[in-house]
């Protein structure tokens, strides 16, 4: 991928993994939070090209934006960030509409809509690509798995944006499976539940999806 300013919205483990990965590739990174000061230790450890900011500052800073916020808080975070600050930009949507209120993982949106589609509707000027939601963040960057590079499933309405996110996936060490428009998020968001259920049953969290093809 060519070097860009990356805005990472989200101060949790996923946001930090994105920030470290984009910084490791030489990009300038801002990681966003309602309370950017709480990221001081992280920023100090992450290297000279990582700083923190408010959600609004981070959305303005990023030419490319990665969204890594709590599913139920995402609408509010984008309101705080200012929808106009996303116009024309590629947004990687890694969120999942997870609901653990009953103990078992469920989705709070589906299956006639998805969080990815809601985000694209809220940010009408952005080029939203759902990606990085089907795997744990420990494996985002250069996963070393015995079966070789895993595949990142992605979807979005803008082919040029998906090409850019495909280059990000390649730089992070992933193959790419494009499943179509942003309505494909209805199917990629439940894949996160499959990933979680396998983790619970196996007691291991080092797995990732790969699509295998018969040799031509």
Stretch that binds ligand NAP, among 88-96, 142-150, 153-161, 206-214 (CB under 6 A): 88-96
User: What's the CA angle centered on 18, arms 66 and 102, to 5 degrees?
Assistant: 80
Q: Is 87 in the site for ligand NAP (CB under 6 A)?
A: no
Q: Is 7 in the site for ligand NAP (CB under 6 A)?
A: no
Return the residue of 4, 6, 8, 14 that touches ligand NAP, per CB under 6 A.
14
Q: Is 62 in the site for ligand NAP (CB under 6 A)?
A: no
Q: How far is the CB of 164 from ligand NAP (least distance, A)?
A: 19
CB closer to ligand NAP, 73 vs 124: 73
CB closer to ligand NAP, 109 vs 164: 109
Q: Is 11 in the site for ligand NAP (CB under 6 A)?
A: yes
Return the residue of 7, 10, 62, 116 that touches ligand NAP, per CB under 6 A.
10
Q: How far is the CB of 77 from ligand NAP (least distance, A)?
A: 5
Task: Specify whether the CB–CB gap between 211 and 151 falls below 8 A.
Answer: yes
Q: Is 23 in the site for ligand NAP (CB under 6 A)?
A: no
How far apart are alpha carbons 125 and 148 in whole angstroms? 37
Binding site for ligand NAP (CB under 6 A): 10-15, 33-35, 68-71, 73, 76-77, 94-96, 98, 132-133, 136-137
């Amino acid at each position: 991928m060519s070097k860009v300013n990356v805005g990472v919205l989200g101060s949790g483990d996923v946001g930090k993994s994105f920030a470290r990965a984009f910084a490791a590739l030489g990009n300038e990174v801002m990681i966003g939070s309602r309370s950017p000061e709480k990221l001081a230790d992280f920023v100090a450890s992450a290297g000279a090209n990582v700083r923190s900011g408010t959600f609004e500052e981070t959305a303005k800073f990023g030419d490319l934006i990665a969204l890594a916020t709590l599913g139920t808080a995402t609408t509010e975070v984008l309101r705080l960030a200012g929808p106009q600050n996303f116009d024309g930009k590629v947004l990687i949507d890694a969120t999942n509409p997870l609901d653990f209120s009953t103990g078992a993982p469920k989705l709070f949106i589906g299956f006639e809509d998805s969080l990815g589609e809601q985000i694209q509707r809220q940010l009408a000027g952005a080029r939203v690509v759902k990606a990085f939601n089907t795997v744990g963040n420990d494996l985002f960057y250069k996963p070393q798995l015995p079966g070789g590079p895993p595949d990142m499933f992605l979807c979005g309405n803008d082919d040029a944006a998906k090409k850019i996110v495909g280059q990000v996936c390649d730089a992070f060490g992933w193959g790419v499976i494009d499943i179509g428009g942003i309505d494909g998020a209805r199917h990629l968001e439940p894949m996160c539940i499959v990933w979680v259920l396998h983790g619970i049953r196996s007691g291991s969290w080092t797995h990732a999806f790969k699509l295998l093809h018969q040799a031509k």
